[in-house]
Each structure stands twice: as structure tokens, then as C-alpha cells.
Amino acid sequence: MNWIDTHAHIYDKKFREDLSDVIDQCREDGMQQIYMPNVDHASIDAMLEVEAKFPECVATMGLHPCSVGKDFEKELYIVEEWLNRRKFAAVGEIGVDLYWDKTHLSRQQEAFRIQVNWAKERNLPIIIHCRDAFPETLELVEELKDDRLRGVFHCFTGSEEEARRIIDLGFYLGIGGVATFKNGGLDKVLPHIELKHLVLETDSPYLAPTPYRGKRNSPAYIPLIGKRVAELYGISTEEVLAATTANAMALYRENG
Ligand SMILES: [Zn+2]
């Protein structure tokens, strides 16, 4: 059993020059799989090229809330076409982001509802992006929750209470580089949350863990995040590896 990065944009142009080297490093560091969330129409070709070239890289399909603008219906049409054309590991990433711009909230909510329905119809998990919008996102998930709806709140950095609300909905918490930051706040939250609710992620190329903070992130840094999580729980890194990999496989319904 090896590490899984449940969220990495390694098709990003920041990897264009040296992705083969990055993947070699990931293999050396014991990475088993890397899941790639889509952003919008402009990221699809690059993502599918990476998937075709590297067997451990797996594509998902969805429209990112930051790409929900006036033309979001056109964007959603492209997502739906792809979901009908072939199999993807998840619908993502989707959600609500009010950090940059609050004017698109109702469009983001509509795009989320539509994509959640596509996930349910296909029995796929969803990858949720939620930034400065926890109450809005939680409300949507509670509204749409049924036996078929499952997934992950990616890049979780919230409070213990927020973590509990997510867990109560049956969702996983995606834990990344912020867990290694001195003032990241997760040191106070994670030890109170059972390991069975966590999956690991890098969100590459963003949010590199300490000691690479501020630099380009890589899925090869997943073991650093795992090591930090082990410290926070006072258990071995092997235990964190076993639990989070099993959780990631359950999330994406892989059989190993
Ligand atoms: Zn992302």
C-alpha cells in the first residue's frame, strides 16, 4: 500500500517543463495514485494528456466555482458532454468561492446543484471546493444530501465544529499542506477527529507544505503531510498511510 494524492492539478502549466521528472520523484517517494480535479473547459485537454501518459494519474470532471461566470451554461454543457462520453473518478471540483467575488453566488449555487445531480445519476463522489463560503456550501450539501451523495471537502482548514458537520454528512476532509504550517490551526482540530474521516491532498501546484512553503507544490510531498498528521495524532506515519490510503480508495471506490 502506498500514498494517494486525492487532489493535484499537475496538468497545470507550472509542470509543463518537467512533469516526467516530477512523476519519477513521486514514484520514488511511494505515490500510488494522483487524482486530478478539473477546473473548466481550458484545463481538460492538458489533464487528459497527463492521464493518458501516466497510469497513476486519474482525471475527474467538473466546473470550478471560480470559473462560473456569465457563460457558465456553456461551460456546464462541455462538462456534461464529457461525463456522458467516458468514465471519470469523480465530479469536481465544484463548490462555492466567495473570496474574490460575491456577485456570482446564485450562479455558483445553480452550477453546484446541476453537477451534484450528474454525480448522483452516475454514482460518483463529488470534490467540493469551499472558500469563504462554509455556511453557503454546507446549506447546499444539506439540501441535496441523499443516499447517493458522497465526496470530500477539499483543502479543509476549518474549526472542529465545521469538521463535525462535514463528517455528519458522511463526507471526507481533504487535508493538505496547511496542516504543516505553524499557524495553520489544524493542530488544534485534527487530533479530535477520527482518522477514518481524512484523506490527504496537495492541491499542487498551490499550498506547498513546510519546508517548501511558497514554492511549487508537488504530489511527491504527500509523505511530508502524512508525517505531520502522524505527529499531530501521536501515531506512526505507517498508520496514517494505511488509513488515509484506504479512505482515498473508498472515496474514489478503487479496489486497489
Ligand atoms: Zn483544486
Strand, helix or coil for residue 198: strand
**pLDDT given for residue 256 in this prediction:** 41
Ligand 1 centroid, distance to 230 Cα (angstroms)? 24
| Cβ(61)–Cβ(89) below 8 Å | no
- pLDDT tens per residue across all 256 residues of the chain: 799 999 999 999 999 999 999 999 999 999 999 999 999 999 999 999 999 999 999 999 999 999 999 999 999 999 999 999 999 999 999 999 999 888 889 999 999 999 999 999 999 999 999 999 999 999 999 999 999 999 999 999 999 999 999 999 999 999 999 999 998 999 999 999 999 999 999 999 999 999 999 999 999 999 999 999 999 999 999 999 999 999 999 999 864 4
Ligand 1 centroid, distance to 205 Cα (angstroms)? 9
Three cell numbers written together for 198: 481524512
Ligand 1 centroid, distance to 206 Cα (angstroms)? 8
User: What DSSP assignment string belongs to 45-74?
Assistant: HHHHHHHHH-TTEEE-B---GGG-STTHHH
Ligand 1 centroid, distance to 148 Cα (angstroms)? 23
Ligand 1 centroid, distance to 128 Cα (angstroms)? 9
**pLDDT given for residue 146 in this prediction:** 96
